[in-house]
């Protein structure tokens, strides 16, 4: 009987010690994670002159696709503004009009360099999404 009590107490003691060690290990891991955590102020890329100038640029340079009629919708585009402000990786994310896609790619490719985004005060590559609305009658 004494051996059984000793065995049960030993197992109970091992379980308690194991739980304490695990808790200490997790606390240490969390402290390490939080000590490496940095919060940066992020500034998004901007079109030269701001959103009003972007709207003007689109209105002045968008060419309505010839041969497409009765389409009303939005082409969702994405692109990367590089650290020096030029645009790369232009993509069509969502659309229902192939001719509108071609025009959207052309329009974005013809844009001037943007003011690059910044993270912690340093220029940074950033992905932007730009919806372009088409209404072809």
**DSSP percent split of the chain into helix, strand, coil, nearest 5:** 40, 30, 30
Here the tokens at position 76 are 């969702």
Q: What percent of the chain has pLDDT over 70?
A: 66
Q: What percent of the chain has pLDDT over 90?
A: 53
Q: What would the CATH number be for the domain defined by 42-136?
A: 3.30.2420
In this prediction, residue 3 has a pLDDT band, given cuts at 50, 70 and 90, of low
CA dihedral 105, 110, 115, 116 (to 10 degrees): 40
Q: Is the alpha carbon torsion for 75, 131, 134, 90 positive or negative? A: negative
Single pTM value for the model: 0.68
pLDDT at 50 over 60: yes
d(CA 78, CA 108): 9
Question: Are the beta carbons of 101 and 75 closer than 8 angstroms?
Answer: yes
- Confidence (pLDDT) at 72: 80
Mean pLDDT across the stretch 45-67?
90
In this prediction, residue 31 has a pLDDT band, given cuts at 50, 70 and 90, of low
- Confidence (pLDDT) at 136: 72
Question: Which range (3-7, 43-47, 70-74, 114-118) has the least confidence?
Answer: 3-7
């Amino acid at each position: 009987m004494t051996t059984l009590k000793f065995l049960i107490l030993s197992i109970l003691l091992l379980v308690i010690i194991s739980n304490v060690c695990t808790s200490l290990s997790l606390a240490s891991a969390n402290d390490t994670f939080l000590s490496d955590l940095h919060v940066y102020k992020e500034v998004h890329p901007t079109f030269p002159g701001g959103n009003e100038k972007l709207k003007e640029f689109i209105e002045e340079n968008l060419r309505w696709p010839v041969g497409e009629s009765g389409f009303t919708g939005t082409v969702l585009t994405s692109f990367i503004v590089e650290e020096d402000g030029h645009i790369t990786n232009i993509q069509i994310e969502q659309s229902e009009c192939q001719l509108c896609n071609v025009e959207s790619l052309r329009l974005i490719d013809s844009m001037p360099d943007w003011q690059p985004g910044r993270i912690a005060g340093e220029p940074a590559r950033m992905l932007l999404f730009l919806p372009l609305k088409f209404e072809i009658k």
